[in-house]
Structure 1
Amino acid sequence: MTAFSLEPAQLAWCAELRALAAERLRPLAEKGEPGRVNRALLAELGTLGLLPRLFTSGALDLCLMRESLAHACTEAETALALQGLGAHPVHAHGTEAQRARWLPRVSDGSAVAAFALSEPDAGSDAAALTLGAEPDADRADAGGPGARPSPVPTPLAAHRDGPSAWRLTGEKCWISNAPEADFYTVFARTTPGAGARGVTAFLVPADRPGLTGTPLDMLSPHPIGALAFDAVPVTADDVLGEADRGFRVAMGTLNLFRPSVGAFAVGMAQAALDAALAHTTAREAFGGRLRDLQTVAHQTAEMALRTEAARLMVYAAATAYDDGAPDVPRRSAMAKLLATETAQYVVDRAVQLHGARALRRGHLLEHLYREVRAPRVYEGASEVQRGIIAKELYRTLDATTEEAGS
């Protein structure tokens, strides 16, 4: 298989996912409350075996899942993706005890995960985060929360001269699944003034004392909130990976999920294109069908062209990730950038072709129009993706030049 075609089994699986999304997931999504975690929907994703695949599939399979679900039920797609985003650091960097406690519950939908990176003043500039992790010598001496030693050696066992307990103080904002998640992957500053090198990732259960949250009323109908940390206790047993190396945990997670954000966008674009094709075929105007007007036909052709180009770039980026290619950051950034910008264009064009009917609350395109805007901002805004692409291009050029001169 190449990055530009799918095997028959993969195509059949995508068709099955679209059918499941329409028949079993969309009815549950429609019963949910906008802006709230839909636990019934999560449980069904677990029953269907889709949540466990977050930890057993590669990047391409993740993209196929997200694209297929988004085509028929964006709420199901987002619920699946947020479980993966919040729990992937536990899967990839957690201790045996952390994985044993949380991953089975994430997989069956009984525990809600969240990825807590952004802050009021550190969204796109993630390295500028200020949520503080102050050493807590008293709690370290007492053995940490609950004073129960971990049965599994922690990743910090070798760092005997460093702190083994901290208090988290500060804010997180724009956190999906907050404040209803059962645990958060939280990124905090353990070394002031060190930029990206002084950040540590912590697994913080929602019931930790001092942790509170409030929901935010957003354009898209997903659960998003702010978190407040008032001296929230954490210890070495809560660290994901290594102290002061949490930024690697964050970027590794985003490099995996950025192409799949593109897949989400492609699924929405395809749904909008399908709706436009059906409408312009059925709609009579100006003495014939809309599709027979050259200006309309050219618009649908352009929509299809851009959607397919975005799809291919997403698949290529995901395949590069699965193959361990060295240019994953650049490819991931390109895939997310092209796909999300394309989806915005395609949905907007579909709305224009439908006219006023697409602006009525409850219309598919009205729903997609609200959904499609956010992916150009979260997990790295479009401007951030352009910055990553340029940085990687010049880094490659400098390395080539240096090698040629040596």
Structure 2
Amino acid sequence: MADTSFLDWPFLDQHHRDLHARLSTWCVAHDGQLHHETGDVEADCRALVKLLGKAGWLRLAVPAAHGGLTEKLDVRSLCLARQTLGYHSGLADFAFAMQGLGTGAISLFGSDAIKERYLRKVARGELIAGFALSELEAGSDVAAMATSATKVDGGYLINGEKTWISNGGIADILTLFARTGGAPGAKGLSAFAFSTDTPGFEVVERIDVIAPHPLATLRFTDCFVPDNHLIGGEGDGFRIAMATLDVFRSTVGAAALGFARRAADEALERASTRQLFGKPLADLQLTQAALADMALGIDASQLLILRAAWAKDRGQERVTREAAMAKLHATDGAQQIIDQAVQIFGGMGVKSGTMVERLYREIRALRIYEGASEVQKVVIARAALAAHQAGK
């Protein structure tokens, strides 16, 4: 049985516990649909967005005033949803997460008109969202972004390319970041709500990865975006991107934790039932040491994730340090836990299609996207240095 003792920790309220119970029950009841694979990952992702929207789970990804379940984005709810979905299906977690991340900047900084135009449809699964930040030479170094937004009468013309964009080939709405004006580095970036039916928009490549997800390279050629689709003001793009990641970075750790919990449960079952040298594999001390490491890593990650999410929900303006710690520990830790689970399974652990093999492929990207592990270490170190220098 999966460990749910963390639900009694003081970071969570009763409505969070109720959410976890309802979503867990729903995932079990819809297991076949969550794992229905046609060989077309874009079609599978579209189907999952519709399924999650119809069930009402995507309402967690937008504020209540525009069709959501909570007054504002509730990070603990988002984390619990991603952790639970990740436990059952990596692609279902992805489909859920991108609806939130793809419109997070709109929820946080968009005008009421833009919120009303897009968020209700995103919450119902009628529109698919994406987050267009990365470029070939501007991934971890966002300030190196080259995509431009040139001011013209009534709006902006977007030119450039984005790559590694989740939902890139299927998104209806993108939060798009581009350079406006001549300010250097991060100061010159702005954010836009971009509709992919805009003339000049092109999907130039679908990107295949080890755990199939709909990723793409996108090209923008004189794409006109109206003035009222600017999110915030000119030059606010970097601040908007970082504030959005402050909300959603902890949820990446939560998804990784869902993977880790599933791997640990699979390993516990395997170790308890597999006979080796005339007794259960679990009787071997080396196996017990691996299981202990898993349990320790899971609880440590859970604490860091809930600490970061709780702080944000309680009104702490920036949780950059806390979210970086949560993502770093949870994603790197999940990689180790899943690897240990594969080892416990032996040859079956690398058989294509088994759960631990799927998790082994699924976890790797989480240590890269929304800030690679190395970037999180820089963020944490700078925060520690700043606090020291300030005498805190």
TM-score (norm 2): 0.92
TM-aligned CA distance change 1:242 to 1:25, over 3 Å: farther
**After superposition, where does 1:34-45 map in structure 2 within 5 Å?**
34-37=40-43, 38-45=45-52
Separation in structure 1 between the aligned mates of residue 35 and residue 227 of structure 2, nearest angstrom: 38
Which residue of structure 2 lines up, in the alignment, with residue 65 of structure 1? 81
Does the 8 Å CA contact 2:267/2:341 hold for their aligned counterparts? Answer: yes
TM-aligned CA distance change 1:330 to 1:371, over 3 Å: same
Q: Classify the secondary structure of the residue corresponding to 1:30.
A: coil
Q: Classify the secondary structure of the residue corresponding to 1:51.
A: helix
Which residue of structure 1 lines up, in the alignment, with residue 220 of structure 2? 229
Question: Match for 2:178 among 185, 188, 202?
Answer: 188
Query: Larger C-alpha radius of gyration, 1 or 2?
Result: 1
TM-aligned CA distance change 1:8 to 1:294, over 3 Å: farther
Which residue of structure 2 lines up, in the alignment, with residue 349 of structure 1? 340
Does the 8 Å CA contact 2:11/2:307 hold for their aligned counterparts? Answer: no
Which residue of structure 1 lines up, in the alignment, with residue 193 of structure 2? 203
Moved more, 96-105 or 344-353: 96-105
Spell out, residue by residue over 1:164-198, the C-alpha distance to the aligned partner (whole angstroms, 9 max, x if none): x2211111000000121001110001133521111
**After superposition, where does 1:122-141 map in structure 2 within 5 Å?**
122-136=138-152, 140=153
Q: CA RMSD in A?
A: 1.8
Q: State the 1:22 CA deviation.
A: 2.7
2:244 matched to 1:260? no
The amino acid of 1:49's aligned partner reads: G
Question: Match for 2:319 among 314, 319, 328?
Answer: 328
Which residue of structure 1 lines up, in the alignment, with residue 308 of structure 2? 317
Q: State the 1:27 CA deviation.
A: 1.9
TM-score (norm 1): 0.88
The amino acid of 1:14's aligned partner reads: H
Separation in structure 1 between the aligned mates of residue 255 and residue 143 of structure 2, nearest angstrom: 26
Does the 8 Å CA contact 1:22/1:73 hold for their aligned counterparts? Answer: no
Does the 8 Å CA contact 2:122/2:129 hold for their aligned counterparts? Answer: yes
Q: State the 1:3 CA deviation.
A: 6.5
Determine what percentage of the aligned residue pairs are the same residue. 39
2:156 matched to 1:166? yes
Which residue of structure 1 lines up, in the alignment, with residue 24 of structure 2? 18
Which residue of structure 1 lines up, in the alignment, with residue 4 of structure 2? none
Q: How many residues align?
A: 375
Task: Name stretches of at least 5 consecutive residues in structure 2 with no aligned partner.
Answer: 1-6, 63-69
Does the 8 Å CA contact 1:25/1:44 hold for their aligned counterparts? Answer: no
TM-aligned CA distance change 1:177 to 1:122, over 3 Å: same
Which residue of structure 2 lines up, in the alignment, with residue 384 of structure 1? 375
Does the 8 Å CA contact 1:177/1:224 hold for their aligned counterparts? Answer: yes
Does the 8 Å CA contact 1:198/1:244 hold for their aligned counterparts? Answer: yes
Does the 8 Å CA contact 1:4/1:316 hold for their aligned counterparts? Answer: no
Moved more, 32-41 or 223-232: 32-41
Task: Name stretches of at least 5 consecutive residues in structure 1 with no aligned partner.
Answer: 145-164, 402-406
TM-aligned CA distance change 1:94 to 1:300, over 3 Å: same
Separation in structure 2 between the aligned mates of residue 327 and residue 209 of structure 1, nearest angstrom: 37
